[in-house]
Structure 1
Amino acid sequence: MATQIRLAEIIEALSHALDLTEGQPPGHCIRCCYIGTAIGQRLGLTEDRLRDLYYTLMLKDLGCSSNAARICELYLADDLKFKHDFKLVDGSFPQILRFVLSHTGMQAGLAERFRGLLNIVKNGAEISQGLIRTRCERGAEIARQMRFSEDVAQGILDLDEHFNGGGQPAGLKGDEIHLFARIALLAQVADVFFVNEGAEAAIAEVSKRAGSWFDPHLVDVFKTVATPVFWAELGADNLERFVLAREPGRQAIMADEDYLDDIAAGFAHVIDAKSPYTSGHSDRVALFTDMIAEEMGMATPERRRLKRAALLHDIGKLGVSNSVLDKPGRLEGEEWEQMKRHAEFSETILSRITVFADLALIGGAHHEKLDGSGYPRGLQGDQISFETRIVSTADVFDALTADRPYRAAMPVAKALAILWEGAGKSHDPACIEALERALTRAELAAA
């Protein structure tokens, strides 16, 4: 019988990865979902509309990783801190100016910082529109790939539009903006100010932006639902379970094996969009993983499960700044500690999903080495599962044969030679041998 699991459980767990790459405290998307669905219920939306709104709110940041590298490049800044702090800016010129001056090139040399600021002052509007367009279009595209409705995709696409027409990327106005996007933007701002400054500040900020950023009617509705009980539930430790239990139409949507594949593939695209150097990495690791697994005679269901692990093994990189991921030189000190944490993040995120629990162990251990010199736990030998060894071999092989910030891609033959140098110490010789046989069959071993 095919594995079935509630779609909401999967999406809620994966929403924590989106919180990471937006630089938001854990549970941001879930809190937004609570706020937004409360507004939708007070509006009297049908169960089907509420269900689509629920997923729009949970997945509103699907495209957020796609502009991270560009933010680092343009603003010479840590993209995670930049995104976190920018959500507190109300869009007024004085606030934006102060933000740009205080967040551009603070760790760069004076000449670099001056050039960066000059570029932003001259081309700020065009830069902002490009960053937001990339984010919104990419998010909508991934939502469609993950089989969500066009209403969900449009809600994500219009997220940064403002009620008065002053938003991005299309300058839509009023009812031209999808209702789900109008609700999601309000919920997002309300949560950010609630977490940073409290309930009164959240209500004040939402009220201040009524008619400019927000639909005034939705602001009025928000005020009616924002009771003391509402705020207490929003800040409760069990909010995630509460939101999951109140999923609209929760009996209607289950995820079978095919849908699990689509969700894993969709989030792989979120992961790989984080850096130009990881574009296609998850897909290629999945391919090499499957080639090794096939060569080793693994059964089709096991290969399918392992492919998902390969697609999601690096989901924790969404919590690592691009200033680290894309650094052209050697990582030092805290930078290296940041990079190492991505394996822990992967395990934490995937372990939230019952059906992905075994994949979580692979995500958490794919940088462990047979001799105990890997991270994060220093596992060795039989402490590293056979499935993890396969994904680890595929991961390193792809890293060697792809361009990286610090070097060009290596030829296949050289990459295999490096893998063999570490056989028995870093990687399982049986996995390397299987990979080499598979590449030879594909006539790629000498490439």
Structure 2
Amino acid sequence: MTYFPPISSPGQGGGSAPQGILRLGELLGALSHALDLTEGQPKGHCVRCCWIGMQAAQALELPPQVRSDLYFTLLLKDLGCSSNAARICQLYLTDDLSFKQNFKTVRGSRQGIEFLLRNTALGASPLKKLKTLGHVIARNDQLAGELIETRCNRGASIARQMRFSEDVAQGIASLDEHWDGGGLPQGLKGAAIPLFARIALMAQVADVFAASAGAEAAAAELEARAGSWFDPDLVPVFTAVIRRPGFLADLQDPGLEAEVFATPQAQHIHAVDEDYLDEIARAFSLVIDAKSPFTHGHSQRVARYSGLICDQLGYSPERRRWMVRGALLHDIGKLGVSNTILDKPGKLTDEEFSLIKRHPVLGHEVLSRIAAFRELADVSAAHHERLDGKGYPYGMDASQLTQEMRVMAVADIFDALTAERPYRAAMPLEKTYAIMDGMAGPAIDPDCYAALQDAVTASGWPSASDARLPEGTWELPAAERSA
């Protein structure tokens, strides 16, 4: 049985690594792997785009502060991409992950139509597919504008929340603008498009085509779009980078990520203190919860309940803060699960359930990339484990589950049961407790559950007839959905 090794409990040390050595580039670069998940891109896409774009910045001899802002624009270019995933599934009756991945290779109108034919209404009857195609093709410009505007505005807003400059926010907001004015969401043209956006889009296309067809194909694709998508003066700068001997080997080098994280630009903007770590965790919780309308507010509420349980159990303020941060990020692996599964109004198939069971593993892979988050990654990944060993993804039992893991599992289940889902209404408090009473002992820790009940009573929870707190709906654990 594979599981991560047991870690220390409160009072036994085992806290995260000293925050003074945590580099901002390393932190956000690691979290950018979660953005790769929601875009259906190979691991490290945003990091590779950052490396390509910074190579171009060096050739352009951009000033240090400009390079620093560009660096974070490139790493975080996809900050808003989770916000349109549910809408893509709804409109195109398709898997959002493959839809987004394949869309990145589309160049013009003809390819766009071919793309829609291949990627719309997958698995539907011929009549349903024809009807859906007619709807989306007739409204193609409007729908594309809506989806891109949602993504770009959301990404820019989150970048501002993370204290980045307006230049970074605008670079993210304008990622899909084209040199000839044919892009979205504003139809900006020429030099009106922020330089960071021009560089980021070219780096994105370069990485996508280099990964799928090689360096020369990537350079040729940029040249083919010069003057239409891309600034014709920047294209030769990028093609010189791409055609440099060893470019593809460098792009595929396992050491590339460490090189990107160690660059001086990665350290230039903010000191990574405890307050800033909290802000970054809150910002990424917005990315996570934007993935599905049925998870709106989920991460922040699990964080709230985890904090309340910690208070009842006597955690130190520092450890409580650490737990809240982990709860904000506990579902980051959900970004790699299709909305066709997350938003399905009914029982999951065995195959779908096996896919959703991967989300804690995906989340662990992302968070454990950050040296200071290794223990946090273990705790966050265990929120669907049970004391009797019947949970997932690792089937860990009571002997392997630390108290922190048990706290987060209780908080997640409570938030889930009191949430509206596509297949049932939110449960009132009495029914929620009736279910959790039966879980206490076999599945969840009785002490953590009792601490939750005490905290809920003290907080003045709404009446049983109106058990939902304001702002949002939360998610039912997939283990229950398969039953």
User: TM-score normalised to the size of structure 2?
Assistant: 0.90
Matching residue within 345, 355, 358 for 2:375 = 358
- Which residue of 152, 172, 189 maps to 2:168? 152
Listed one character per residue, the Cα deviations across residues 5-35 of structure 1 (whole Å, up to 9, x for unaligned) are 1111100100100001000000100110011
Q: Does 1:78 align with 2:95?
A: yes
Q: 1:249 to 1:9 in 2, by over 3 A?
A: closer
Aligned partner of 2:390 in structure 1 is 373
CA drift at 1:295 = 1.3
Cα distance in 2, alignment partners of residues 346 and 420 from structure 1 = 29
Corresponding residue to 2:338 among 321, 344, 355 = 321
Report the equivalent of 1:209.
Answer: 225
Residue identity matched to 2:118: S
The answer to whether the Cα contact below 8 Å between 1:439 and 1:445 also exists between their aligned partners in 2 is: no
Residue identity matched to 1:113: K
Alignment-derived partner of residue 71 in structure 2: 54
Q: Is the 8 A contact 2:303 2:327 kept in 1?
A: yes
**Alignment partner of 1:43 out of 60, 64, 77:** 60
Name 1:422's counterpart in structure 2. 439
Cα distance change on mapping 1:252 and 1:149 into 2, 3 Å? closer
User: What is the CA-CA distance between 1:235 and the residue it aligns to?
Assistant: 1.8
Asked if 1:346 is matched to 2:363, the reply is yes
How many positions carry a matched residue from both structures?
446
- Aligned partners of 1:48 and 1:249 also within 8 Å: no
1:196-345 maps to which residues of 2 (within 5 A)?
Answer: 196-226=212-242, 227-248=244-265, 250=267, 253-345=270-362
Deviation at 1:445, TM superposition (A): 7.0
| Alignment pair present for 1:185 and 2:201 | yes
Q: Is the 8 A contact 1:2 1:256 kept in 2?
A: no
Distance 1:252 1:214, change over 3 A: closer
Which ranges in structure 1 are unaligned for 5 or more consecutive residues? none
Structure 1 position 242, deviation (Å): 1.4
- Kept in 2, the 8 Å contact 1:413–1:445? The answer is no
Q: Whole-Å Cα distance in 2 between the matches of residues 206 and 252 of structure 1?
A: 31
Partner Cα separation in structure 2 for residue 85 and residue 7 of structure 1:
31
Distance in 2, matches of 1:190 and 1:223, equals 9
Report if aligned partners of 2:25, 2:266 keep a CA contact under 8 Å in 1. no
Equivalent residues in 2 for 1:71-220 (5 A)? 71-90=88-107, 92-220=108-236
% identical aligned pairs:
54
State the secondary structure of the residue aligned to 1:117. helix
How far, CA to CA, are the matches of 2:231 and 2:397 in structure 1?
A: 57
**Offset at residue 251 of structure 1 (A):** 6.2
CA-CA distance at 1:2 after TM superposition:
7.4
- Structure 1 window deviating more from structure 2 (182-191 vs 376-385): it is 376-385
Q: Report if the CA contact (8 A) 2:24-2:266 is conserved.
A: no
Shift of 1:118: 1.6
TM-score by length of structure 1 reads 0.98
The residue identity in structure 1 corresponding to 2:206 is A
Q: Give the letter for the 2:96 counterpart.
A: D
Q: 1:2 to 1:114 in 2, by over 3 A?
A: same
Q: Structure 2: which 5+ runs fail to align?
A: 1-16, 465-483
Amino acid of the structure 2 residue aligned with 1:224: A
CA contact (8 A) 1:156 1:181 kept: yes
1:390-415 alpha-carbon deviations (Å, 9 max, x no partner): 11111011111111122111112211
Q: CA deviation at 1:264?
A: 0.3
Residue by residue over 1:235-259, the C-alpha shift from the partner in whole angstroms, topping out at 9 and shown as x without a partner, is 2121101111224263664310000
Whose RCO is larger (CA < 8 A, sep 6+)? 2
- 2:423 — aligned with what? 406
Q: Is the 8 A contact 1:436 1:445 kept in 2?
A: no
CA contact (8 A) 2:18 2:372 kept: no
Name the aligned partner's letter for residue 156 of structure 1: I
Task: Say which is worse superposed, 331-340 or 227-236, in terms of deviation.
Answer: 227-236
* SS state at 2:233 partner: helix
Runs of 4+ in structure 1 over 4 Å off: none
- Which AA in structure 2 matches 1:115? K
- Tell me the distance in 1 between the aligned counterparts of 2:138 and 2:266: 49
CA distance in 1, matches of 2:291, 2:422: 14
User: Which residue identity is paired with 2:439?
Assistant: G
Aligned counterpart in structure 2 of residue 34 of structure 1, from 51, 55, 72: 51
1:204-225 per-position Cα deviation (integer Å, ceiling 9, x unaligned)? 0010000000001110111222
The 8 Å contact of residues 71 and 77 in structure 1, kept in 2 or not, is answered as yes
Contact 1:272 1:279 in 2 (8 A): yes
Report the aligned-residue RMSD: 1.3
